[in-house]
Chain A
Amino acid sequence: MTLNAGARSEGKAAPKIDVKHVARLAMLELEPEETERMQRELQSILEHMKELFSLDVEDVEPSFGSFDGAELRLYPDELRLGLCSEEFLRSVPAVRDSYVMVPRAGQEQRSSGEENHSRRELQAKNER
């Protein structure tokens, strides 16, 4: 991971957000005019957040939840009655012989970006 975070903390302006790159990561298709609007809106939101960077949080532990020491628990791994697969398959847009059907994956032109590349491969793998 490349970190330019250190430079950011001292910086005056919010970083320029690469909307097209982020949209690819998020698997969102943006229309040209939406790209422009998104850029403007996200930029103004980031500008608004600048105050956060005035805080010194160097030695602060992050909180990813609401409680100190709250532990997530798992329930016992034992067989019990639940919904049958037919009930869930009813929600699936395309089913054949109780398999979830999707268009063929991994056939697209490999264009830009490493992330996109690996992501597609991952999906292709998941599909098999």
Chain B
Amino acid sequence: MNDDALWNMKASALLELMAAGEVSSVEVVEAFLDRISEVEREVGAFLEVMQEEALAQARRIDKLRQSGEYPGLLGGIPVAVKDNICAAGAGCTCGSRMLADWTAPYDATVVRALKEQGAVIIGKTNMDEFAMGSSTENSALGVTRNPWDLRRVPGGSSGGSAAAVAAGEVPLALGSDTGGSVRQPAAFTGVTGLKPTYGRVSRYGLVAFASSLDQIGPLAADVKDLCLLMDVISGFDERDSTSEDRPVPSYSQALSRSTRGLKGGVPKECLTQGVSPGVRRCFERALEMLEELGIDIKEISLPMTRYALDCYYIIAPAEASSNLSRFDGVRYGVRAETESFEKMYMRTRRNFGPEVRRRIMLGTFALSAGYYDAYYLRAAKVRTLIRRDFKRAFEEFDIILSPTAPTSAFLLGERTQDPLSMYMADVLTVPANLAGLPALSVPCGFEEVPGSGGGGEGEMVRRLPVGLQITGRPFDEETVLCAGHAFYQAVAPGVEAELARMRKGLGRASQGSTRCCVQGSG
């Protein structure tokens, strides 16, 4: 378990090693599979690990390399995929009992692109049921824990993907982001995550939650690795009618651009939304560092963003209530056997968990006769106002800065009884979805919270990662990533030292130690 273990390396470094013939893809994949079996009992990031298929693909890539052929941009690199994105032949449960036994018959466009570029799909990751949640606790199929503190949530809904990257179980992962589901877990687990512009990445093969907000996004240890994924998954797809047909730059190459002279706006509203003192301190320090990088920072106002959370929790459930009507037991998923059709439909839908039911109810209400104008239409109009706020801001500013989430990772169970307190975790991330903007979360420091205390390994304080959110103009991922990369370079030594320490502490349970922080099933 040393720092130069293959599983501890970034994708960019592994690609160099493989290209130089120093390691094979099989060795790389085996290293990650070993790591998964070492720490998975504690972390619980995966719903399915595709060992055989992964090794077979790795052998194919090694053969290609040996015969002098180019194995693709991600040749031989393991990638984890959130379990709401279809990979042919693998399960695609969406964290729901409804699809617990369903096998995807085709590849999502992003999965196909990954395979074409030589990536090795290593497994499917846990998530809040149908991506509805901010802690992964709404998964019906398992508990995922935050590798930084196993008593805490990894964030959500792409909590499995984020935890897997943080724990060193995989260098790259895909998530989906409807209201912050890539960025918030990235922030909670100390990795980077991007929600691309709506239309930048094809949604074909992503199980729909809220179609006007959903976007697939990458997670990785740093921005450089994130760009490797973006270079592969971005671009037009005729199978997604909302996909945008416009040129895709090389994001990896954009990282070398200078950040000097960029204008950054800090919405004054963003620090009033229940932001914890620790997160605030990290954010203020991050702003100082960005200024040292030559970014010109000014306070701005986005007055309508204070309505974003309410607006989101009308629009997203409304779209979800419609999208999820397809789960009727007729064509796929589980079916409750009953004597009549209607009973079958209703009984089958009992397989939805409490949060999904709550949102279907909320959305159905917002769309129902008598309330459509008052709720759904009003929210759609407020969405226009929020978009206008951003449009105005981007006439003057290149990027907008805020913390990614108001707090660091909370405790498992802390918010499950109070839906509103869970929804608050999304308050800083939903505006980018409502406006369709690209937004990145990049680690910016640590908040100290009380540790487990007591004897043994118990410590007095625990350091939890905090994320900085950088939002950009539509289709200007380059500027967002470039600023994020420059910033990450500045914090990397501190962040990566902590990450290495955290990773070292994992996996002891499977080696016979008594450390066990959370009761519950995996």
Contact = CB atoms under 8 A, between A and B. Distances in A.
Interface of A: 1-5, 8-9, 15, 17, 19, 21-23, 25-30, 34, 38, 41-42, 44-45, 48-49, 51-53, 55, 57, 60-67, 70, 72-75, 83, 87-88, 90-94, 100, 102-108, 120, 123-124, 127
B105 A90 contact: yes
B365 A17 contact: yes
A65 B344 contact: no
Given A38-B361, A60-B384, A62-B383, A91 B420 contact: no
Nearest to B342: A108
A53 B382 CA distance: 10
A90 B106 CA distance: 12
Interface of B: 102-103, 105-106, 198-199, 212, 238-239, 241-242, 244, 306-307, 310-311, 313-314, 321, 325, 328-335, 338-347, 349-350, 352, 357-358, 360-362, 364-365, 368-375, 377-385, 387, 419-420, 423, 434-437, 474
24 contacts: A23-B361, A25-B368, A26-B360, A28-B349, A38-B361, A49-B313, A55-B307, A57-B381, A60-B381, A61-B381, A62-B381, A63-B381, A63-B387, A65-B212, A70-B244, A72-B241, A73-B241, A91-B331, A91-B332, A93-B330, A93-B333, A94-B335, A123-B345, A127-B341
B341 A27 contact: no
A124 B506 CA distance: 56
Nearest to B341: A105
B379 A75 contact: no
A66 B371 contact: no
B176 to A, nearest CB: 15
A51 B365 CA distance: 18
Given A45-B419, A57-B382, A67 B474 contact: yes
A102 B212 CA distance: 32
Contact of A38 (B241, B311, B358, B436): B358
A26 B345 contact: no
Nearest to B335: A93
Closest 8 CB pairs of A and B: A66-B436, A62-B380, A105-B341, A93-B335, A5-B374, A57-B381, A5-B373, A91-B332
Contacts of A91: 102-103, 105, 331-333
B338 A70 contact: no
Contacts of B383: 62-63
B388 to A, nearest CB: 9
Nearest to B104: A91
A3 B370 contact: yes
Contacts of A63: 380-381, 383-384, 387
A74 to B, nearest CB: 7
A61 B310 contact: no
Nearest to A88: B105
